[in-house]
Amino acid sequence: MNPRWLVLATATLVAWPLAAQAGGSGGTPPAFRPGKYTIEARDTAKTFPPIPFELKNSTIFVITMAEGTFSGRMRSKDGLLTYSDQGCLDENNVQREGTYVVRGERGGYWLEVQTDSCEDRGKSLASWLFRPIKK
């Protein structure tokens, strides 16, 4: 058996599942586009009523709840998303950023935490499914 063939076969067998986990095999990574969404629970056993979410342009978002609105910033590029909001501030009252990988799921998007100094926020965001509202 040719050793080069064995190396190629092994690399393919290892890379294929990793590419599938990454949300594709070299295709365009999912990205949030400006528009209206609903926030839903990713875990269908822990459902809650959909929450309106709007990405107003390529950076500003607004979540509308009965208690009022909640806003922040999201920037998405090449499947990576940088997120900050009014609920996570540093000692100088500057919004702390978290970094996430955008993943596609059930016609929507979810965010896999890469780094976030606000641990509770990261857990919440990772448990949500952002589903586009079809016009």
Residue labelled with tokens 């910033």? 73
For residues 40 and 50, give the distance between their C-alpha atoms in angstroms, rounded to a whole number: 5
Runs of H (alpha helix) within 3-109: 3-21
The C-alpha atoms of residue 83 and residue 96 are separated, in whole angstroms, by 8
Question: How many Cβ atoms are within 10 Å of 42's Cβ, its own excluded?
Answer: 16
The model's pTM is 0.70
Whole-number average pLDDT of the chain:
77
Q: Can you tell me the mean pLDDT for 20-44?
A: 73
Map out the domains of the chain with their CATH numbers: 32-132 (2.40.128)
pLDDT digits 0-9 by tens, 37-58? 999 999 988 889 999 999 888 6
CB 84 within 8 A of CB 96: yes
